[in-house]
Amino acid sequence: MQERTPRDIAKDFIRRYVERGDSVESLATGEMGRAGADYWAQIGGSVYHPTDRERPLKLRRQELAITRVAREPCLHRFSLAELHAEIRAEQEGGSTRPTQPRLF
């Protein structure tokens, strides 16, 4: 079984809401969060960096953070709009991620 990346986890966290038609703004307004044994995720608010527990980091309203995967602290931040667009593209049978042009 292939291990899920933090980006996959972030997309799965909001997938059902995007598929039912929720907008990026409604997701941001809801400020959802989840803390389970498999991962911790939240939209907006404040989070702590795994190596600096002194000062919380402020997330933007339309930013989703994964702060723990498989009980290991981490910090991965994603644009809610980008994740939303990727899920919509998957729904429509298109590309699942924006592509990066070759630099060289």
Helix 80-91 to helix 6-19 angle, to the nearest 10 degrees?
Answer: 70
pLDDT, one tens digit per residue, over 82-93 is 999 999 999 888
pLDDT, one tens digit per residue, over 2-58 is 788 999 999 999 999 999 999 999 999 998 999 999 999 999 999 988 887 788 999
Mean pLDDT score, 50-68: 90
**Rounded-to-integer distance, Cα 32 and Cα 14, Å:** 9
Q: Which pLDDT belongs to residue 101?
A: 56
pTM to 2 decimal places:
0.82
Question: Is the pLDDT score of 96 beyond 60?
Answer: no
Q: How many CB atoms lie within 10 A of CB 104?
A: 2
CA-CA distances (angstroms) from residue 32 to 52, 54, 86? 24, 24, 19
Contact 5, 18 (CB under 8 A): no
